[in-house]
Structure 1
Amino acid sequence: MTPDTPASAPRLALFDLDHTLLPIDSDFEWGEFTTRIGWTDAQEFGRRNAEFFAHYQAGTLDIRAYVRFATEAVRQQGPEAAAAAHAQFMREVIAPAIRPQALELLRQHQQAGDHVLIITATNEFVTRPIAQALGVAELLATELERDTKGWFTGNVLGEPNMREGKVRRMEQWLAQRQWGWGDVHSTFYSDSTNDIPLLEKVNTPVATNPDARLRELAVQRGWRILDLFSATP
């Protein structure tokens, strides 16, 4: 953390996505959605999806293995079917989950002139349309490798955008603008202990809808706690 960053420094507002800006996990819900539309076996896929999700919550997820699993149905169906299914997913699952509290928080930062980024471990196929729906142009997500035809291979491209990987991906983003952490004032909103490395790096960490372990840590360290959806039925 760099508490003596100049007041005139560029301001960054970084947001995790799942359970932070959305009250759901978009990655998990996409998996459940593929079962509902008949792309995956309900029992076997549901069991494995829940198992991966539990590992994510525990901070033990092998994200490369998860991405291979999570993109298998998409890869088999092909680009046109995948795009149509994702549009349906946006209508049926994501749009109802977008809350005015989240939109207002994003707009406050945007209207203040902050650089607003969504930085999420969930892969780019699932999250790019969600970022667009939230009105956020800049997305750092786990990127997917493509084959010579431009379609997903099931592998992660580069470094997964998770845990310490989020810090390194942000540092690459900063370096592209010839900035370092000391050149900006950064705020990061997240619900998860998986994001402790980045929460520890920014000027202003905000534990947002935090899980129990992050809430306890935030209390210990004096971090701000924001229960963004507390007023949502």
Structure 2
Amino acid sequence: MHRLAIYDLDRTITAVPTWTPFVLHAARTRAPWRLAFAPVVVGAMLTYRAGLIERRTLKQLMHRLMVGTLAPDQSAAVAQSFADRFARHVRPGARAQIAADRAAGYRIVVASAAHRFYAARIAAALGIDDVIATEAEVDAKGRVTHRIAGANCYGADKLAMIEAWMAREGLARADAYVRFYSDHATDEPTFAWANEAIAVNPHARLRTMAGERGWPIVDWR
């Protein structure tokens, strides 16, 4: 039996989201003139919250305006500098639980809507090699573009991407015991699929859902 402990990243392992801080960090460190687009980004975020554009569209617009296209060395440098800076936002409880799961023989996996090229750096700092995340499109010159390749690793698409990763790794679901940790109700498909569903510092909707379904609630602050 394979033991998997799958962790969401934003607000689960980390105390705050990563995407907006990442694009702001990229703008400040690479091209401060891009910060002039911040009002446009705020407007797009409000449009998303009003339900007028999709999350995928919002992320691509934010990347295009605040980050732009990144050459391989640039993407590596900005991702690493962001991960180094962001280490202070990792929840102490997350570090402790990752260590406990690893000691118990679980394979630790991060599954996140964050873009892989920086999420993998945050995960690596925690000793995690397996990362399932949103992929940025790479052009013919090897540059990271603002476009998302494939699905945004969010909601039902996150579960589909976890299942695809397991298939690539040769892990049959029937032969795996899965723990899943997340802070948000949008991960309900993966919560329902896992053998153990653990709500981490949940928002109100997930707290209610966890109470109704008997999922444990933990505080990692």
TM over 0.5: yes
Looking at structure 1, the residues matched to 129 and 73 of structure 2 have their Cα atoms a distance apart, in angstroms, of 24
Looking at structure 1, the residues matched to 177 and 183 of structure 2 have their Cα atoms a distance apart, in angstroms, of 20
Specify the SS of the correspondent of 2:35: coil
Residue identity over aligned pairs, in percent, reads: 28
Question: 1:170-225: CA deviations, max 9, x gaps?
Answer: 11122224433222111100001110110011010001111110001101111010
Q: State TM-score, norm by structure 2.
A: 0.87
Residues 178 and 75 of structure 1: CA distance in aligned 2, closer, same or farther (over 3 Å): same
Match of 1:168 in 2: 160
Shift of 1:50: 4.4
Q: State TM-score, norm by structure 1.
A: 0.83
Question: 1:75-97: CA deviations, max 9, x gaps?
Answer: 346444444333332333x1221
Correspondence for 2:108 among 101, 116, 119: 116
Residues 160 and 99 of structure 1: CA distance in aligned 2, closer, same or farther (over 3 Å): closer
Specify the SS of the correspondent of 1:159: coil
Equivalence map 1:61-76=2 (5 Å): 62-72=54-64, 73-76=66-69
Aligned partners of 1:145 and 1:157 also within 8 Å: yes
Looking at structure 2, the residues matched to 114 and 91 of structure 1 have their Cα atoms a distance apart, in angstroms, of 26
* Higher share of residues assigned helix: 2
- Structure 1 runs not aligned, ≥5 long: 1-8
Aligned partners of 1:35 and 1:42 also within 8 Å: no
Match of 2:88 in 1: 96
Q: How many residue pairs were aligned?
A: 217
Question: 1:2-51: CA deviations, max 9, x gaps?
Answer: xxxxxxx2111000001001101011211333454423226415514643
Looking at structure 2, the residues matched to 68 and 34 of structure 1 have their Cα atoms a distance apart, in angstroms, of 14
Match of 2:35 in 1: 40
Looking at structure 2, the residues matched to 150 and 25 of structure 1 have their Cα atoms a distance apart, in angstroms, of 27
Looking at structure 1, the residues matched to 159 and 53 of structure 2 have their Cα atoms a distance apart, in angstroms, of 17
Aligned partners of 2:76 and 2:117 also within 8 Å: no
Equivalence map 1:15-164=2 (5 Å): 15-37=7-29, 38=32, 39-41=34-36, 43-48=38-43, 50-51=45-46, 54=49, 62-72=54-64, 73-76=66-69, 78-92=71-85, 94-164=86-156
Looking at structure 2, the residues matched to 47 and 187 of structure 1 have their Cα atoms a distance apart, in angstroms, of 36
Residues 70 and 46 of structure 1: CA distance in aligned 2, closer, same or farther (over 3 Å): closer
Looking at structure 2, the residues matched to 134 and 33 of structure 1 have their Cα atoms a distance apart, in angstroms, of 21
- Structure 2 runs not aligned, ≥5 long: none
Match of 1:6 in 2: none
Correspondence for 1:202 among 194, 200, 206: 194
